[in-house]
C-alpha cells in the first residue's frame, strides 16, 4: 500500500512538473508572438512614415537618372527613376515601403516609431546575371555599375504578405 502511494505521488509530481513546463513553454511562445507582433507593427509604422516622405520621382530628362524595375514578393512590379546622387538606402526604402498592404497609408504617422532600429529583411538582386545590390546605405546609385543603363530587380528573402496573413489567421484559431 505504501509503495502504491509513493508511486502515485511520484506520478502526480511528474504530471505537475510537465504541466508547469507546458505552461512555461506556452508563456514563452505567447511572449515571442507578442514581440513579433510589436516588431511588425513598428516596421509597418516606419514604412508608413517613410512612404509619406518619399521624394518625387525625377523627370525622364534628368541626365544620369537611374531607372529600376522592382518585383515585389506579392507579384507587383514597381518602376521608378532615381537621381544619380540618391543612395542605396533610398532604393531599399522605396522597395520596403511598397511592401505595405494596399490601402494602409491613409493616416501616415508624423514621426518614426520610438525605439525602432529599422533593418531591411530582404535583398534586392538583379535578375540576370544574379547580383545583389549591396546594402551599403551611403553609396550613390549613379555610381553602382550593376544599375548602369537601368536594372530589373527582385526582392528576395521577404515573406509574401499573403503568407504572413495566413499565418496570423492560423494563430487565431
pLDDT at 173 over 70: no
- pLDDT attached to residue 110: 73
Structural domain harbouring 13: 1-173
Query: What is the number of structural domains in the chain?
Result: 1
- pLDDT attached to residue 164: 42
Write the pLDDT tens digit of every residue in 130-156.
Answer: 999 988 888 999 989 999 888 999 999
> Which residues, other chains included, contact 95 with Cβ-Cβ below 8 Å and sequence gap of 6+?
70, 72, 78, 122, 124, 153, 155
Query: Looking at residue 14, which CATH number applies to its domain?
Result: 3.10.20.90
Size of the chain, expressed as the number of residues it contains: 173
- Residue 119 φ then ψ, to 5°: -135, 150
In the block, residue with C-alpha cell 511520484: 10
pLDDT at 167 over 50: no
Q: Is the pTM value of this prediction over 0.85?
A: no
- Residue 77 φ then ψ, to 5°: -120, 135
Nearest to 95 by CA among 37, 39, 135: 135
Amino acid at each position: 500500500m505504501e509503495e502504491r502511494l509513493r508511486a502515485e505521488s511520484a506520478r502526480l509530481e511528474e504530471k505537475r512538473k510537465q504541466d508547469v513546463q507546458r505552461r512555461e513553454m506556452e508563456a514563452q511562445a505567447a511572449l515571442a508572438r507578442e514581440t513579433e507582433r510589436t516588431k511588425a507593427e513598428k516596421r509597418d509604422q516606419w514604412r508608413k512614415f517613410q512612404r509619406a516622405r518619399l521624394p518625387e520621382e525625377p523627370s525622364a530628362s534628368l541626365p544620369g537618372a537611374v531607372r529600376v524595375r522592382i518585383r515585389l514578393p506579392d507579384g507587383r512590379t514597381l518602376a521608378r527613376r532615381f537621381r544619380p546622387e540618391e543612395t542605396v538606402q533610398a532604393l531599399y526604402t522605396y522597395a520596403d515601403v511598397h511592401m505595405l498592404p494596399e490601402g494602409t497609408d491613409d493616416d501616415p504617422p508624423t514621426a518614426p516609431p520610438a525605439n525602432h532600429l529599422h533593418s531591411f529583411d530582404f535583398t534586392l538582386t538583379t535578375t540576370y546575371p544574379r547580383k545583389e545590390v549591396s546594402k551599403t546605405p551611403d553609396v550613390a546609385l549613379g555610381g553602382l555599375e550593376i544599375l548602369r543603363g537601368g536594372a530589373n530587380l527582385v526582392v528576395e528573402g521577404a515573406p509574401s504578405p499573403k503568407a504572413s496573413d495566413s499565418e496570423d489567421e492560423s494563430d487565431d484559431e
